[in-house]
């Protein structure tokens, strides 16, 4: 399934990307310069001390009109982005929905939805990234997400939106991984680079959203990859004990509240084979980021449909793995050649939490 936008849609997408590029490349440096002036003034009234916490940074920032406008343009561009993507697909809705439901001929992989799966409350009450009707509430959610993401992140995630998947693959130790599982796979943007890095592995990928995995399946088949998608909850999967050699997630955990993360990590332990490896790629916690960048990162929590973002970036993730019984817990950085561009978390690379059962 390939979506080729007409010229009007393409021009609209160009406009949105232009807004976002303006914010990231022109407006952010301008904001930073203005902030530094305020920071100097702050230091003069605080015994020469500059703001040392994200709360103190926030006090200054919220008083700045430039900050308010910077974030308002960011938010408005995000809302506009989803709206125009949906508008561009609306004339083809029936045809696309029918194609998503139609079994793929000579499929390499598979897809299995579960109409009886109860979606957790924490999940259904959020429009993640402000995407209307979120991941689960519209049959075209996966198509819309796959079009939106490259615009949203200014193509930082590279070809086929696989950058963070390639970053994770680069730190997974070479070895034999007979069966592997991607938790919270979305449309499979990161599943594919990992599968490519581990040829010979049987690849499973699960997500709560039926629209996302239906599209993920079509997308993987179009790209000629053999992946088995199923609609499951990472907190309680249908897999047997000791099934997988490797279980991973990419930029997923911040979308789960801490309780669900604990349940998920315990579930990973259950379905991982003894000696199996688990690896989870995320942005670094606030403690590893400069207060200015942490404050900007934290904006997501209340303004971009990411209510669990703050708690996640203050969580003791290795501690949760320890509680679940894992050993050899370590955190390694995974570089992405694009991770700094336009990202307000600064130049911080990804952080991968790894452990063995």
Partner 1 sequence: MTKRPNQFDDPAIDTLLSIVLSLGNEVYVLRDRMRIIEKMLEAKGTISRTDIEAYKPTPEEEGEIRKDNDAFMARLFRVFEGNLE
The least CB distance from residue 41 to partner 1, in Å, is 10
Toward partner 1, which CB reaches closer, 76 or 107? Answer: 76
Toward partner 1, which CB reaches closer, 67 or 321? Answer: 67
The least CB distance from residue 235 to partner 1, in Å, is 22
Strand partners, 180: 203, 246
Toward partner 1, which CB reaches closer, 38 or 166? Answer: 38
From the list 117, 54, 102, 269, the residue with the least C-alpha distance to 181 is 269
Toward partner 1, which CB reaches closer, 84 or 172? Answer: 84
The least CB distance from residue 94 to partner 1, in Å, is 20
Positive or negative, the Cα torsion across 39, 45, 50, 52? negative
User: What's the maximum distance between 2 C-alpha atoms anywhere in the chain?
Assistant: 71
Toward partner 1, which CB reaches closer, 19 or 256? Answer: 19
The least CB distance from residue 73 to partner 1, in Å, is 7
Q: How far apart are CA 292 and CA 91, in angstroms?
A: 44
Q: How far apart are CA 41 and CA 39, in angstroms?
A: 5
Could you tell me if 236 and 212 are in contact, meaning their C-beta atoms sit under 8 angstroms apart?
Answer: no
Q: How far is CA 290 from each of CA 77, 123, 293, rounded to the nearest angstrom?
A: 26, 30, 5
3-state secondary structure 265-292: HHHHHHHEEEEEEEEEEECCCHHHCCHH
Q: How far apart are CA 19 and CA 233, in angstroms?
A: 36
DSSP 8-state class, residue 330: E
Strand partners, 356: 277, 327
From the list 154, 151, 142, the residue with the least C-alpha distance to 220 is 142
Pairing of strands 202-207, 228-231: parallel
Toward partner 1, which CB reaches closer, 6 or 118? Answer: 6
Q: How far apart are CA 293 and CA 259, in angstroms?
A: 26
Sheet holding 244-250, edge to edge: 110-112, 228-231, 202-207, 179-183, 244-250, 272-282, 350-356, 327-334
Toward partner 1, which CB reaches closer, 80 or 202? Answer: 80
The least CB distance from residue 282 to partner 1, in Å, is 22
The least CB distance from residue 78 to partner 1, in Å, is 10
The least CB distance from residue 66 to partner 1, in Å, is 5
Toward partner 1, which CB reaches closer, 66 or 149? Answer: 66
Q: How far apart are CA 182 and CA 165, in angstroms?
A: 11
The least CB distance from residue 338 to partner 1, in Å, is 18
Name the site residues for partner 1 (rule: CB under 8 A): 6-8, 11-12, 14-19, 21-22, 26-27, 30, 34, 37-38, 64-66, 68-73, 75-77, 79-80, 84, 125-127, 130, 302-305
């Amino acid at each position: 399934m390939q979506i080729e936008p007409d010229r009007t849609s393409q021009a609209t997408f160009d406009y949105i990307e232009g807004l976002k590029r303006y914010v990231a490349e022109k407006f952010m440096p301008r904001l930073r310069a203005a902030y530094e002036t305020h920071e100097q003034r702050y230091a003069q009234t605080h015994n020469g001390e500059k703001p040392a916490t994200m709360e103190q940074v926030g006090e200054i920032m919220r008083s700045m009109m430039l900050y308010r406008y910077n974030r308002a343009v960011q938010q408005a561009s995000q809302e506009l982005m989803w709206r125009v993507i949906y508008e561009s697909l609306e004339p083809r809705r029936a045809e696309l929905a029918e194609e998503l439901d139609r079994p793929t001929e000579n499929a390499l992989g598979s897809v299995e939805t579960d109409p009886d799966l109860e979606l957790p409350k924490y999940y259904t009450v959020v429009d993640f990234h402000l995407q209307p009707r979120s991941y689960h509430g519209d049959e075209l959610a996966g198509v819309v997400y796959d079009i939106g993401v490259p615009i949203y992140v200014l193509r930082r995630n590279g070809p086929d939106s696989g950058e963070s998947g390639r970053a994770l693959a680069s730190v997974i130790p070479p070895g034999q991984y007979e069966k592997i599982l991607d938790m919270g796979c979305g449309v499979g943007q990161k599943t594919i680079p990992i599968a490519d890095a581990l040829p010979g592995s049987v690849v499973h990928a699960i997500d709560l959203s039926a629209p996302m995995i239906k599209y993920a399946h079509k997308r993987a088949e179009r790209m000629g990859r053999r992946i088995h998608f199923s609609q499951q909850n990472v907190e309680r999967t249908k897999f047997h004990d000791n099934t997988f050699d490797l279980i991973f997630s990419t930029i997923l955990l911040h979308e789960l509240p801490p309780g669900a993360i604990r349940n998920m990590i315990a579930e990973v332990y259950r379905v991982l084979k003894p000696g199996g490896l688990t690896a989870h790629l995320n942005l670094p916690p606030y403690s590893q980021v400069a207060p200015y960048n942490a404050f900007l990162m934290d904006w997501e929590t209340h303004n971009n449909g990411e209510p669990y973002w703050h708690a996640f970036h203050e969580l003791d993730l290795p501690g949760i793995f320890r509680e679940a019984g894992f050993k050899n817990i370590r955190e390694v950085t995974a570089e992405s050649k694009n991770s700094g561009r336009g990202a307000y978390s600064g130049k911080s690379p990804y952080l991968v939490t790894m452990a063995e059962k």
